[in-house]
Structure 1
Amino acid sequence: MTDIFVKGPVIAPRRRRAQLNWLLTVLPAFPLMLLVLRLWYLSRQDLPTMLLLVQYINPLGMISALFITLTWAVPAVILALRVLGGILLVSKPGDAGRSMVAVAALRMPDWVVLIAVLIAGFTWQLRMLPTLEMLVVAVLGLTAVQRLRARRPVMLWITIGVPVLVGLLTWIFVWPGVVTAVREGEYGTALLLAVPPLLGPLLTGPVPARWARLVTHWPAIGAAMTLPIVVGVVFLRAPVLPSSAVEVGPKDGPVREVVRGQLIAVDDTATTMLDSLGDVTFIPNDEVRSKTLCPEPVRPPESAVDVRGWPIETSALEWIAPTRKVTEIDPRCLGRPHDPA
């Protein structure tokens, strides 16, 4: 491993340390920026409403929503860095010291990669699992090339035989889904299921040295520019407040209206609600007749394709874990008063 840093020109230690300091500064700021943007988006760009949300919203709830929504992104970053950096390390070792991607891959502990694989296996949708298989066999093959000093037949088995065998097993498993996707005209889904198992053997060995930085750095730069946008768009749509419906009316009289929206807070005097237009409503507690939680609207599936009974838009965790099925919608969630009878 140390030979990689001896050959060729390297970044001056002071400059490398400065780049790392900038990276460590930006990384914690990105989640904070996402949380602020989520409140700004929720308040419909109204500063007083945003300040009210900041006052009442629990930061732990925001962080939980961020974690649940973006769990898939962390394994993607780790595995992509490990594969791209590993390709550069085995293709052009003399240039590895000048590449942050190669340095990150070289210093990445194996247990971090293992945890990333386990998280991805449970949280990625089924249609992305063939891509995960491709990344896993690539990491195993590149690690063997870097660390093992075995005979050529053993290396050929690890870098070519194992990826081909695992890819064949993956193909056998996803083949019914590929056929269904082609029949339904979902060619993008068919490509996601069928192509990655074929690419595994191509990612376990070196590429020509003159092309090494091109095939590793440009994908890394493209992913680094695209991922924050994708993460931001996904998180801005994630719910951070409970959807509720409140019946309002005099204590001994009929229900005057049903206020629907997101529940911000309940204090000694009033219940604070945020409606879909970004308007804040303060309801006196003595006029609150009843309250209920409303389920989030279930989006219809974008694809009807499944693989052996497993919908391609469902992760293993969603498929295995118990879910709360809503069989009847409370009329208050539809804006109608609740009938006690």
Structure 2
Amino acid sequence: MTDVYVKGGAIPPRRRRAQLNWLLTVLPAFPLVLLVLRLWYLSRQDLPTMLLLVQYVSPLGMISALFITLIWTVPAAILVLRALGGILLVSAPDDAGRSLLAVTALRMPDWVVLLATMLAAFTWQLRLLPLLGMLLVSILGVTATLRFRTERWLMLWNTVGVPVLVGLLVLVFVWPGVVAAWRAGEIGTALLLVVPPLLGPLLTGPVPVWSARLVTHWPAVAAALVAPLAVGVIFLRAPVLPNSAVEVGPEDGELEVVRGQLIAVDDTSTTVLTSEGEVRFIANDQVRSKTLCPEPVRPPDSAVAVRGWQVERSALSWIAPAHRETEVDPRCLGRPLDPS
């Protein structure tokens, strides 16, 4: 392994390997901690209920829920690391080797950035796509500065021409949404649409040496500290069990509708976790009917659309087919299917 040379000498390879070993140890453990916390949250902090869920909940189902819920965070981490690390490399090359951020950006393959960009383009909300454009032009600019120092015309095009052109195109596309957001009083949405295209041309080259670590290293550290908390809060609210409604009662008697999350169905009973956190074991000979209930639709936080595209929707949500309920099953509302 070659050394990374910096002012005052090289960082010992053993120290770099120790840092990477710690990182590679923590990363696989983080999803496992999230899954355990999700079951603990779902059981309402009741240990016996959590142990029951561990016994019946499919690990593949939980991993699928984790993947679908947090897929957008993967390209975000990759692109931010590459952009901030690249700025640090071109701003303070003599000292950048001491930062794991800069070393990670230097060794990150281009194909990883390309795949992350494609994934972000499909999974990020529309109001975040201008931010994606800002990150891309920043990565392109600092990469050109690192690789094509002697080609002045190429550097000028990548660090000035492309960012300005991309910024103008983005502003032309999102300008109707900016106006609509401003008129609706949604200042945050308006800023997310208009500010990144303006900042893109400013992030394609070096910053003053004295501020290099301040504007790159510490924002990355702050994001690394806040991201696990934010990811945990988002995943704790993600569904991992299907919502269902079960009609229970004798054949000729009064029926009761039990609503909750279906845990398991075996030869003798159907196990349901109610919304109050109670586990009910229903004998199969008492079950008259079952149905899946749709997840409650959360009203959108923003009513702004850009050329007919809702700012809270991603391209993937437009492309993928969606199941739409035409009418609500009465059992999902707590009423028997046949009141008579």
Fold similarity call, TM over 0.5: yes
Contact 1:71–1:123 (CA under 8 A) maintained in structure 2: yes
Look up the equivalent residue of 1:256 and give its one-letter code: L
Residue matched to 1:133: 133
Is 1:111 aligned to residue 111 of structure 2?
yes
| CA-CA distance at 1:6 after TM superposition | 5.1
- Which stretch of the first structure deviates more once superposed, 9-18 or 266-275? 9-18
**Corresponding residue SS for 2:260:** strand
Once superposed, which parts of structure 1, at least 4 consecutive aligned residues long, lie more than 3 Å away? 6-10
The C-alpha deviation readout for 1:282-339, integer Å capped at 9, x for no partner, is 0000000000000000011111100000000000011222211112000000000002
Residue matched to 1:275: 274
**Corresponding residue SS for 1:75:** helix
Residue matched to 2:338: 339
CA distance 1:8–1:85, shift in 2 (3 Å): farther
The C-alpha deviation readout for 1:75-128, integer Å capped at 9, x for no partner, is 010000000100011111111211000010011011111010000000000000
| CA-CA distance at 1:162 after TM superposition | 0.6
The TM-score with structure 2 as length reference comes to 0.97
Aligned pairs, number: 339
Residue matched to 1:313: 312
Residue matched to 2:186: 186
Separation in 2, partners of 1:123, 1:74: 10
| CA-CA distance at 1:155 after TM superposition | 1.2
Residue matched to 1:57: 57
Residue matched to 1:304: 303
**Corresponding residue SS for 1:94:** coil
| CA-CA distance at 1:5 after TM superposition | 2.5
Contact 1:271–1:283 (CA under 8 A) maintained in structure 2: yes
Separation in 1, partners of 2:31, 2:266: 29
Look up the equivalent residue of 2:256 and give its one-letter code: E
Separation in 2, partners of 1:129, 1:215: 22
- Which stretch of the first structure deviates more once superposed, 224-233 or 12-21? 12-21
The TM-score with structure 1 as length reference comes to 0.97
Residue matched to 1:92: 92
Residue matched to 2:292: 293
CA distance 1:226–1:197, shift in 2 (3 Å): same
User: Where does structure 1 lack aligned partners over 5 or more consecutive residues?
Assistant: none
Separation in 2, partners of 1:38, 1:285: 28
Look up the equivalent residue of 1:151 and give its one-letter code: E
Separation in 2, partners of 1:255, 1:120: 52
Look up the equivalent residue of 2:108 and give its one-letter code: M
User: Where does structure 2 lack aligned partners over 5 or more consecutive residues?
Assistant: none
**Corresponding residue SS for 1:93:** coil
The alignment yields a C-alpha RMSD, in angstroms, of: 1.4
Residue matched to 1:15: 15
Identical aligned residues as a percent: 75
Contact 2:6–2:95 (CA under 8 A) maintained in structure 1: no
Residue matched to 1:196: 196
Separation in 2, partners of 1:3, 1:81: 21
Separation in 2, partners of 1:77, 1:279: 39
Separation in 2, partners of 1:255, 1:5: 80
Separation in 1, partners of 2:10, 2:234: 38
